[in-house]
Structure 1
Amino acid sequence: MDSILLFDDPAIRGSLLPFAFTRPVADFRVGILKISEKWEKITGKSISYLTQDYLQKKFPRAKGKAMAVNAAWLPDAESWGLIENLKEDQALFFGKILLASYIGETEKNLDAVKEKKTIQLEKSPSLLLKTWNIFQFNGEEIRKDFALITKGRKSEPITDPYTKVYSAENIFIEKGATIRAAILNAENGPIYIGKNTEIQEGSIIRGPFALCDHSTINMGAKLRGDTTVGPHCKVGGEVSNSVIFGYSNKGHEGFLGNSVIGEWCNLGADTNTSNLKNNYAPVKLWDYTKGGFANTGLQFCGLMMGDHSKCGINTMFNTGTVIGVGANIFGDGFPRNFIASFAWGGASGFSTFQFSKFEETAKAVMGRRGLELTAEELEILQTIFELSKNYRIWEKSS
């Protein structure tokens, strides 16, 4: 077996929108690493993807026979041992959820597992079944990834005399990181500081926490536990139990809690998210598979923001708000709890963010990071624009 093929389970993928609009499930970041990176490090095998047709070009599938593994499965040290000895006529399940099976080079799906011998996994695996699982599982995933990444390695030293550290043995710093007059408290969980990162003066960070490569924590920021800041981000203000996938900014004051932010997002100054209802009732969240709101069973749940979405200064988001891809939110008051992809507006109403205008913005934003919006990525976004038309109800009424 040369490679692992991480497949999007059609029974799960819809519940992971809007983040699964722009990437395979294996490309989600939970903890320090993406799911694909976890499998790659644990197995030592090359990774490829079996995903939606419109995503497959950007996330290619390797040639040849492969072990197909459910991309929603967050692996641990035991996971590889459970599947590496599977025979070609066997399929590993947990209940009705397919976890792993061999797939032939010409097979486009895993329908053939119906003919295979079923092996049931008795121990419950860690499965990403809902968007809120991303922040729910994040603290534990940081711990697992921290152990995986740092095993047998030595951290760079903290040389700044004005930085205060608690439980230094739980802190790992990569080369090129700069830390000035910060407080790092790793008593409750590890703190990982990636390559070429910057933690500016007055920042307070509690573990478990991950700051991925080339990201910056701005002056005076307060980063609570179970939080991941992905690569190439700038973050300030107060953040608690949230995951920012990468290439996004929350540079100013304002609270972000129990939330997931995709790539190429920007939260304007003093943007605040509510993560707790005034009556302490369980939070309801938009469910793309149902076309309506569903009870999460969670008391704390904030904002789910898809890739390339932005909000203006002083934006206020209600508890349990879901924003699709490429939306632009601004204005007074609380916008609705579900905002469709490529929406333009706020509490006073929405129109459509015309694709040509969106494209101009996306190119400008990516250009600031020295990156180009590729033809491949543009085609993906155009497909999402078409797929999401049914959610833009104002287009039907106008």
Structure 2
Amino acid sequence: MAVQASAFFALPPSLARFAKFFPAAATPWDWLKQVGAALEGLEANPAGPKIPPGVHIEGKVWLHASVKLPPYAVIQGPAYIGANTQIRPGAFIRGHVIAGENCVLGNSCEFKNCLLLDGVQAAHFNYVGDSLLGNGAHLGAGVICSNLRLDQGEVMVRLPNGTVGTGLKKFGAVIGDRAEVGCNAVLNPGSLIGPRAMIMPCTAFGGYVAANTVARIRHVITTLPRRD
């Protein structure tokens, strides 16, 4: 049986306008399929922040007035960026992005077809493609949410009770509320990270990690032969 989105996160009040697209009982990958539909009909916010000359905006982009914009960045619509979110220098928001309140979309990071709930921190050199990040989720520097299999086949998810097809060719990671992913970790397509789980730095992770647990690299140490 497929897992429900409610096992990973809850849609915050700040994103209530999109609630009909993201029911708690749906699978997380069904949420991902609805990001585009949720943004249909979106209009730019006429009361949004002043746009610095170096920030390039194209398409329909809704920015709360309190969004902090950097000297330079690229934001392609459709996109929705909530209150008190920071967009830092060199960020590339590449369409079909919803970000809640108090998020950090960091320097030299790329975001594409993703849903970021409140308080997400992706601050340094991250790639977040076709992914869902829960409330307070944190990506360390250099974390990559890989979204395409090497054979470009359907992305499958490995659950405790079996493997399930998602019907998606591109599907990155599902990262639960307050989960932590350490620096330079790579999350393989279809990774499911439970709430308050941790992925240790420099880990190449794929599969499922339950809530409140830690995924580590298994270190293998061998002894070299003596060189007399």
Alignment partner of 1:259 out of 131, 146, 161:
131
Alignment partner of 2:37 out of 140, 156, 161:
140
Distance, in Å, in 2 between the alignment partners of 1:281 and 1:196 is 41
Any conservation in 1 of the 2:75–2:94 contact (CA below 8 Å)? yes
Any conservation in 2 of the 1:138–1:226 contact (CA below 8 Å)? yes
Distance, in Å, in 1 between the alignment partners of 2:62 and 2:157 is 31
1:198 deviates by: 1.3
For 2:204, what is the secondary structure of its paired residue?
coil
Equivalence for 1:339: 209
Among all aligned residue pairs of Structure 1 and Structure 2, give the percentage whose two residues are the same amino acid.
Answer: 21
1:173 deviates by: 4.2
1:137 deviates by: 1.2
> Residues 343 and 276 (structure 1 numbering): CA distance in 2 closer, same or farther, change over 3 Å?
same
The one-letter code sitting in structure 1 at the alignment partner of 2:55 is A
Aligned positions of 1:281-320 closer than 5 A: 281-287=153-159, 291-320=161-190
1:324 deviates by: 0.2
Equivalence for 1:171: 44
For 2:36, what is the secondary structure of its paired residue?
helix
The one-letter code sitting in structure 1 at the alignment partner of 2:90 is G
> Residues 217 and 16 (structure 1 numbering): CA distance in 2 closer, same or farther, change over 3 Å?
same
Alignment RMSD (CA, Å): 2.6
For 1:251, what is the secondary structure of its paired residue?
strand
Any conservation in 2 of the 1:18–1:305 contact (CA below 8 Å)? no
The CA deviation string for residues 110-130 of structure 1, in whole angstroms up to 9 with x for no partner, is xxxxxxxxxxxxxxxx99732
Higher-Rg member (1/2): 1
Name the structure where helix makes up a greater proportion of residues.
1
1:193 partnered with 2:70 = no
1:320 deviates by: 0.7
Equivalence for 1:18: 7
The one-letter code sitting in structure 2 at the alignment partner of 1:136 is K
1:278 deviates by: 0.3
- TM-score, scaled relative to structure 1: 0.50
Aligned positions of 1:1-398 closer than 5 A: 14-20=3-9, 23=10, 27=11, 33-34=15-16, 37=17, 73-74=20-21, 129-144=26-41, 146=42, 170-175=43-48, 177-180=49-52, 181-186=54-59, 190-236=60-106, 237-287=109-159, 291-348=161-218
For 2:39, what is the secondary structure of its paired residue?
helix
Q: Which runs of 4+ in 1 moved over 4 A?
A: none
Distance, in Å, in 2 between the alignment partners of 1:28 and 1:254 is 23
Q: Which ranges of structure 2 fall in alignment gaps of 5 or more residues?
A: 220-228
1:287 deviates by: 4.4
Distance, in Å, in 2 between the alignment partners of 1:321 and 1:232 is 25
> Residues 267 and 127 (structure 1 numbering): CA distance in 2 closer, same or farther, change over 3 Å?
closer
> Residues 127 and 262 (structure 1 numbering): CA distance in 2 closer, same or farther, change over 3 Å?
closer
The one-letter code sitting in structure 1 at the alignment partner of 2:58 is N
Any conservation in 2 of the 1:229–1:245 contact (CA below 8 Å)? yes
Any conservation in 1 of the 2:179–2:193 contact (CA below 8 Å)? yes
1:18 deviates by: 2.9
Any conservation in 1 of the 2:183–2:202 contact (CA below 8 Å)? no
Any conservation in 2 of the 1:276–1:319 contact (CA below 8 Å)? yes
Distance, in Å, in 2 between the alignment partners of 1:182 and 1:128 is 38
Any conservation in 1 of the 2:123–2:139 contact (CA below 8 Å)? yes
> Residues 17 and 128 (structure 1 numbering): CA distance in 2 closer, same or farther, change over 3 Å?
closer
The one-letter code sitting in structure 2 at the alignment partner of 1:323 is I
> Residues 234 and 280 (structure 1 numbering): CA distance in 2 closer, same or farther, change over 3 Å?
same
Distance, in Å, in 1 between the alignment partners of 2:37 and 2:24 is 13
Equivalence for 1:56: none
- TM-score, scaled relative to structure 2: 0.85
Q: Which ranges of structure 1 fall in alignment gaps of 5 or more residues?
A: 1-10, 40-72, 76-125, 147-169, 350-398
Distance, in Å, in 1 between the alignment partners of 2:215 and 2:126 is 20
For 1:325, what is the secondary structure of its paired residue?
coil
The one-letter code sitting in structure 1 at the alignment partner of 2:26 is L
1:321 deviates by: 0.2
